[in-house]
Structure 1
Amino acid sequence: MFDPEPLFDLPAARSREDDAAELQDMATRPLADLMAPDWAAALVSVEPDLRKALSFVANEAAAGHLVLPAPSNILRAFRQPLADVRVLVVGQDPYPTPGHAVGLSFAVERTTRPIPRSLANIYRELEADLGLPPRVHGDLSAWTDQGVLLLNTVLTVREGAAASHRGKGWEPVTAAAIRAVAGRRRTDGTRQPLVAILWGRDAQNLAPLLDGAPAVASAHPSPLSASRGFFGSRPFSTVNTLLEEQGAAPVSWELPS
């Protein structure tokens, strides 16, 4: 008998105790169990920092705080193979609102309404740049499936407290990840295709980690800054041009409706 799947899968309620136990387990498991194998190899030098950050987050949950995103999504950006990355989009911290943070910069749960204003501004620029209509959802996994790495520089946050997990161990991990992406070389020694998108000053301060890889930089899409250089910057078409100049296929930026 046909059993139709639900249109949306609603997340089960989480307890702080369950989160703390899962995070403590993550802090001791081999890296290869937590991420794609080539990412595990690339990040082995910062494994102590990663474990420090996971232990800190576990203690946050044990103390009764809701940590975002859910444990299963904290390292989500590293599930796609490092070898497949061709575009890097650098974010800052996860959204501090439950149901928003999903482990990918700027993305939210498909069921989240309304979407964050920064993402709405990204969609507005996407329409102005490529003529693609905005979506009501914030699921950006169609981009990650094409090798777009949506990486926050800090991978967790306490509910309702933006930037609360800065300086707790994540920054060395994500800096190493950016270096790993930029440092990939073909057998002939040439760089593998890569374009970085650096929105806002915090992201642009990381440009030295790119080792000369091309980058598209502008103001952040936040409502506080989008009108000061984000709107009209045409990042999506520019990225595709830079990819094609490196012999790589362009990204299809259109998202499922």
Structure 2
Amino acid sequence: MNSDTARLAGSLRSHFASLPEAWQERLATPLAADATRALVDFVDARVATGCAVFPSQPLAALQACAPQDVRVVVLGQDPYHGAGQAHGFAFSVPDGVRPPPSLRNIFIELGRDCGCPSLRSGSLLAWSRLGVLLLNTVLTVEQGRPGSHAGRGWEFVTDAIIDAIAAMPTPKVFLLWGAQAQSKRARIQAAAAPNLVLCANHPSPLSARRPPVPFLGCAHFSQANRYLVAQGLAPVNWCR
């Protein structure tokens, strides 16, 4: 995938307009609606100046997993900022793209925790089809500029998504990887539903082995499945 096909083209507004109705309803809160308008103006202006904004489909994770189908939310930071890497699913890369270091650490933990064999593809799209919402707190980024779209409105949008999922009556599992993701812990736990929240460091090599909660060795995948089974729900085939 080259940088031209991986970058956002046209207006971000059209991506929100094409969301399934079930997601649009959950993004209709006043804060999210106001943030979306400001966000669209900002992102569209950056694209108009020629900035390479990734990914081409920022809301792909919502298109792939309906609200009522979500069983697990994997929450990260913002998309990969290298050309051809981000494709709308947190931590995932398209087929044929070399897995970045964070994703390689996820695969290492999968092997340690669940006995998964080495996965041939860095795409985690199969997880989405199993009810795993791969969500970042910020859903666009500029090439070579990590965090470049933080504080521009995405956080209000993803907060509305998190709140809606956390409030659903069927128990969910939230895997919060990294400080930005863990900042959402209190709002998830404020929901009346008995959700399981698991926290660990970001899987980046910079933090994956560091205290207080190293990602490598966190056993989040098996813990999530034990909880789902205890709630009478099917486990996730993390080895896909």
Common fold: TM-score over 0.5: yes
In structure 2, stretches of 5+ residues that fail to align are none
Compared CA separation, residues 44 and 15, structure 1 to 2 (3 A): same
Compared CA separation, residues 151 and 194, structure 1 to 2 (3 A): same
Aligned counterparts of 1:90 and 1:13: Cα–Cα separation in 2: 27
SS of residue paired to 2:134 = strand
SS of residue paired to 1:127 = helix
Letter in 2 for 1:57: V
Report if aligned partners of 1:34, 1:75 keep a CA contact under 8 Å in 2.
Answer: no
Q: CA shift at 1:36, angstroms? A: 1.9
Q: CA shift at 1:47, angstroms? A: 2.1
Alignment of 1:119 onto 2:89: no
Letter in 1 for 2:126: A
Alignment of 1:163 onto 2:147: yes
Superposition map of 1:73-222 within 5 A = 73-79=57-63, 80-113=65-98, 115-185=99-169, 192-210=170-188, 211=191, 213-222=195-204
Higher relative contact order (CA 8 A, sep 6+): 2
Aligned counterparts of 1:105 and 1:204: Cα–Cα separation in 2: 15
Compared CA separation, residues 232 and 63, structure 1 to 2 (3 A): same
Match of residue 235 from structure 1: 220
In structure 1, stretches of 5+ residues that fail to align are 1-9, 186-191
Letter in 1 for 2:91: F
Aligned counterparts of 2:104 and 2:136: Cα–Cα separation in 1: 18
Match of residue 226 from structure 1: 208
Alignment of 1:39 onto 2:39: no
Compared CA separation, residues 78 and 51, structure 1 to 2 (3 A): farther
Superposition map of 1:51-90 within 5 A = 51-70=37-56, 73-79=57-63, 80-90=65-75
SS of residue paired to 1:151 = strand
Q: CA shift at 1:11, angstroms? A: 5.9
Letter in 1 for 2:22: D
Letter in 1 for 2:135: L
Write out per-residue CA displacement over residues 176-206 of structure 1, whole angstroms, 9 at most, x where no aligned residue.
Answer: 1000000112xxxxxx120000112221111
Aligned counterparts of 2:97 and 2:28: Cα–Cα separation in 1: 35
Q: CA shift at 1:139, angstroms? A: 0.5
Match of residue 189 from structure 1: none
Letter in 2 for 1:64: G
Report if aligned partners of 2:27, 2:157 keep a CA contact under 8 Å in 1.
Answer: yes
Alignment size in residue pairs: 230
SS of residue paired to 2:46 = helix
Report if aligned partners of 1:195, 1:215 keep a CA contact under 8 Å in 2.
Answer: yes
Letter in 1 for 2:164: A
RMSD: 1.9
Compared CA separation, residues 146 and 30, structure 1 to 2 (3 A): closer
Q: Which runs of 4+ in 1 moved over 3 A?
A: 10-16
Compared CA separation, residues 74 and 15, structure 1 to 2 (3 A): closer
Aligned counterparts of 2:158 and 2:146: Cα–Cα separation in 1: 18
Match of residue 7 from structure 1: none
SS of residue paired to 1:144 = helix
TM-score (norm 1): 0.84
Compared CA separation, residues 12 and 206, structure 1 to 2 (3 A): closer
SS of residue paired to 1:51 = helix
Aligned counterparts of 1:219 and 1:30: Cα–Cα separation in 2: 31
Compared CA separation, residues 252 and 172, structure 1 to 2 (3 A): same
Identity of matched residues, %: 40
